[in-house]
Structure 1
């Protein structure tokens, strides 16, 4: 797998966003005292991030493990769970995602469409398409088109042959431009320039963070000394889960253990009357759907 290909790029961007979001959730939920946080800014949005080195490193380790699974496309939900003094979940901020397959299927047609539009603009003199100038010989295209026009209608066989040659040449130019754009997209090490084909990602992330800032669940006030948190990853299918490191293990959750039941999502076949779901925000990022909601337990 290309380490800087589409999946890795999406994983980098979502991981960076999740790290920021986890910090903000911990502040909004009052898991730790306000003095532990400092004011920062990301995606043009004022934020609160933890400044304790140990907590910051812990969150970074969580996000690093999640990034690996995002690349594999194994993750269905990521939950930031608030725990009471007994270790029981009292609310969950859930990030649910549908990604990568639709993203990659949508990327190539988008690039092909852009390449075709640029090629057509060049031929008509309309639009802003200029990238084609650097890589294709439009003089050759004009020469073939000119021959077709100059021959007139007296030699239909010759006209048809030249038209076929013109069409084949145009198809070859389009394929060259498509390949060039795909290569640029895959080789670009960072996010800029890839998803801007379809959306303003920074604005979408900002809208989610602003929603988190004002979406604290309607729960009784709790002493932050008695609260803690955990991050739960729910995979699309049964498996080992995130890759565990000797110094950073992930533990499987058993739904048969009462306290651990509160850490996982509501199952459609066994809904709970004690849970209240609060929708927060749903966004589409280049075919990747990211939904945030709160489960008040």
Structure 2
């Protein structure tokens, strides 16, 4: 699904002051094509959930436009809502007093999913997520992991053209998290879904998304591919070298070198500096046993960007 926004803005009235306004989203200009995957990240209160609610037609913008395949999600709701999948930790689509299979059957009727397709996808999703679809216990009695898996299955069964996931892995253990991310990624690529994904776990974002958009206090401060962001903001790399220890003490001729132990030292190097220059600084007679190069992770880069814009 093609997603377009132009000068999208959301402003709330401050309840504590007549004249004061709270800008939740300043001006969002976005264009995504079918099959694109966008990680939408920012601190709590930065405007992420507000944006997602406007995109799916739950919340009206103050100004600006939103088009989903040319349709307005608010005024053309009947034409477009069945093609949008939205998962939010604050908005469950499950019938809590019924077993999960009842919700899955109801979804097949609401979305008019062909029986063969519904059965095939349900088997595939339950297998990928290690989820027992024959569990007769009501949703409210299930563990957090199984409730989230039920939400994921319910969201993916209609094969939406636009998949909007607001922190779908929140509170999950590592095994459940990995299986859910793999399942989302497989379905998104197989059916060419446009994906918008938010999470505070940036490792999840990096795993599942090709593009990243960073929002800070309602303002977009970066929108690029993961690779481009890492290349653009990678100012330093840390080199950790393990060498064969020697009995006598030697000094290292560079202030950037930090001696960790008799056989290990670390060195910070600029993104464009050559590692070969570092090797020359290793005192004669020390054999290199191991070398590890650490570039700043996405979390470090995003944290630095928020500090600079704060």
- Comparing both structures, which one devotes a greater share of its residues to helix? 1
The TM-score normalised by the length of structure 1 is: 0.21
Larger Rg: 1
Higher relative contact order (CA 8 A, sep 6+): 1
- Comparing both structures, which one devotes a greater share of its residues to strand? 2
